[in-house]
Structure 1
Amino acid sequence: MNDGYRNRALEAALASADVAGIGAALRTGQVVVPQLDEARIRVFPGDRGNQPPYEAMLFSSEEALETFLAEDTRRRAQLRGADALREFLSANLEEIAHVTFDPAGPNRFRAGIKDVLKTLGPKPHVDLRLPKAQEWYVVDMSDEDVRDYQLADLAAKVLPKVQRSKSEQPEWAQWMTTAKETAVDQGAAFLAYWLQRAARRPMGLAVALNRPSPFGQVRHPMQTEMTTVGERWVASPDRLYESRLTYSFPRRDLAELALPTVDLVIATLSWGDEA
């Protein structure tokens, strides 16, 4: 855990008892959560003492945690984001009745577990909806064997129809493999290839989309459109989450076809709840 961490947005929301603000601070930042060990979150006696239902304690800063557990030699904690909190609270609906924020602070705030889940909101999800009238091939990122089989099948059956020059096919096949490996390394949730002849030329584009993260959590690097590899950070309509879209194409002279298509892919992304 970062020494001296504090979620200033959460501190401000607690000070004004702003429920909507508390939810936004939880979704876009992290909180300090007491732990029993590296894996297990610690809960505390509730209204019935040591009998369930218990109470969860969350802290806006490391300092607030230390104030509450000053004499506890077993004190340990981790930073947790919205997804981890949502998962933990959802799994313990019957065991936890209330969640208290900064219990030893001047802005102590207590709420029912269902109310906290409501303010956390649903888990963010973004779908890669690909433009129509184009030959897109989606790769299954959930299974390594299936993913590799699909890529080999594309290189063997589709690529020769698009890139008819046999001397250039190995270079294009290597580009497809590199795009796949990059998507895997980045933990992408979706990967798709656009492979077809466009304006009488072979056209190839790979796009990979990461799962959403809280908006503003990542410091974006400087980006350029002058190479065959790039990335875009796409914000959800409410600007609470963002997702990284990585793209590549085989050759620079295809940029005039590839980059407008990247823009079109971004324009057709669908943000919503996971089913």
Structure 2
Amino acid sequence: MIDGYRNRALEAALAAADVDAVGAALRTGQVVVPQLDEARIRVFPGDHGDRPPYEAMLFSSQEKLDAFVAKDARRRSQLRDAAGVRDFLAANLEEIAHVTFDPEGPARLRVSVTDVLKALGPKPHVDLRLPKAQEWYVVDMSDEDVRDYQLADLAAKVLPKVQRTKSEQPEWAQWMTTAKETAVEQGAAFLAYWLQRVGRRPAGLAVALDRPAPFGLVRHPMQTDMTTVGQRWVASPDRHYESRLVYSFPRRELIDLALPTVDLVVATLSWGEES
């Protein structure tokens, strides 16, 4: 359970019976969701009792959920953001007809699933259009085998052309592997390497872009003391969502080459909506 959590913006939206404001409160905050277990959201009898369609119950605070299920020993709950609520409702449109917020009141609000999805709005995506006239190598993050093959191919064919000193190549190859593993661990949607020679110097940069998350909710510090690793947070124009761009480069002395390119990468981010 989530003791003490309270979404005040959601409370205000419910008091005003403003469905659009409810959507905004979920996009910028979280909601308490009853669970059957760690993975499954709990639903409740609807207009047809124990037959579908059922009713989803969402709560502005753990206190409100506790009041609703006070005599029920099954009091599991989780915090979910707009994306989590949207995904669950969209996947169960045939099974759930309504969503009731804070069913015990005092500002109970019952809304159709379609109206809730409309208020939440489409799920955003963020595109990364890499700067032109530079040597970028995009890695397919959707397939593990393809990803590993692409990385091995880069290390074998491209890296020796950039880092021509053979004794330095293993260190650079390890940096590329570490960047890939970090991107996988953070669930990044996008990974690319910038590998080229600038003047007579070998230059390398890895950028991994996270999927959008509600603004301000996931600003975890990087768990590293390495000065060759950093992050940038980029907000959507409406500041409802943000994505984290994690970057790294092989050696600290490349900072004067890498950071201006990071600035260029951030400038290419383009926000939109998934169809």
Please confirm whether the aligned pair reaches a TM-score higher than 0.5, indicating the same fold: yes
Distance 1:212 1:105 in 2: 32
Aligned to 2:169: 169
Distance 1:76 1:84 in 2: 17
Q: Is 1:228–2:228 an aligned residue pair? A: yes
Aligned to 1:211: 211
Q: Which amino acid counterpart does residue 272 of structure 1 have in structure 2?
A: G
Aligned to 1:117: 117
Aligned length: 274
Aligned to 1:182: 182
User: Offset at 1:269?
Assistant: 1.1
SS at structure 2 position matched to 1:255: helix
Among all aligned residue pairs of Structure 1 and Structure 2, give the percentage whose two residues are the same amino acid. Answer: 83
Q: Which amino acid counterpart does residue 242 of structure 1 have in structure 2?
A: E
Aligned to 2:85: 85
User: Offset at 1:180?
Assistant: 1.6
Given the superposition, is the C-alpha separation of residues 49 and 27 from structure 1 closer, same or farther in structure 2, using an over 3 Å criterion? Answer: same
Q: Which amino acid counterpart does residue 135 of structure 2 have in structure 1?
A: E
Question: For each residue in 1:173-222, what CA deviation from the matched residue of structure 2 results, as whole angstroms up to 9, or x when unmatched?
Answer: 22212222222222222111111122332211111111111111124549
Distance 1:249 1:109 in 2: 51
Q: Which amino acid counterpart does residue 32 of structure 1 have in structure 2?
A: V
Distance 2:154 2:91 in 1: 41
Question: Bigger CA drift: 168-177 or 96-105?
Answer: 168-177
SS at structure 2 position matched to 1:234: strand
Distance 1:30 1:274 in 2: 21
Q: Which amino acid counterpart does residue 53 of structure 1 have in structure 2?
A: P
User: Offset at 1:257?
Assistant: 1.9
Distance 2:273 2:215 in 1: 17
Q: Which amino acid counterpart does residue 57 of structure 1 have in structure 2?
A: M
Given the superposition, is the C-alpha separation of residues 39 and 220 from structure 1 closer, same or farther in structure 2, using an over 3 Å criterion? Answer: closer
Q: Give the TM-score, by structure 2 length.
A: 0.91
RMSD over aligned Cα atoms = 2.2
Distance 1:49 1:16 in 2: 29
Q: Which amino acid counterpart does residue 165 of structure 1 have in structure 2?
A: T
Q: Which amino acid counterpart does residue 168 of structure 2 have in structure 1?
A: E
Aligned to 1:19: 19
SS at structure 2 position matched to 1:168: helix
Distance 2:87 2:198 in 1: 46
Contact 2:222 2:230 in 1 (8 A): no
Question: For each residue in 1:99-145, what CA deviation from the matched residue of structure 2 results, as whole angstroms up to 9, or x when unmatched?
Answer: 11111111111111100001111222212221111110011122222
Question: For each residue in 1:63-88, what CA deviation from the matched residue of structure 2 results, as whole angstroms up to 9, or x when unmatched?
Answer: 11122222334443332222221122
Aligned to 2:200: 200
Distance 2:28 2:83 in 1: 10
Question: Bigger CA drift: 119-128 or 41-50?
Answer: 41-50
Given the superposition, is the C-alpha separation of residues 113 and 246 from structure 1 closer, same or farther in structure 2, using an over 3 Å criterion? Answer: same
Match runs of 1:86-101 below 5 Å: 86-101=86-101
Distance 1:69 1:2 in 2: 14
User: Offset at 1:252?
Assistant: 2.6
Q: Give the TM-score, by structure 1 length.
A: 0.91
Given the superposition, is the C-alpha separation of residues 198 and 3 from structure 1 closer, same or farther in structure 2, using an over 3 Å criterion? Answer: same
Match runs of 1:137-156 below 5 Å: 137-156=137-156
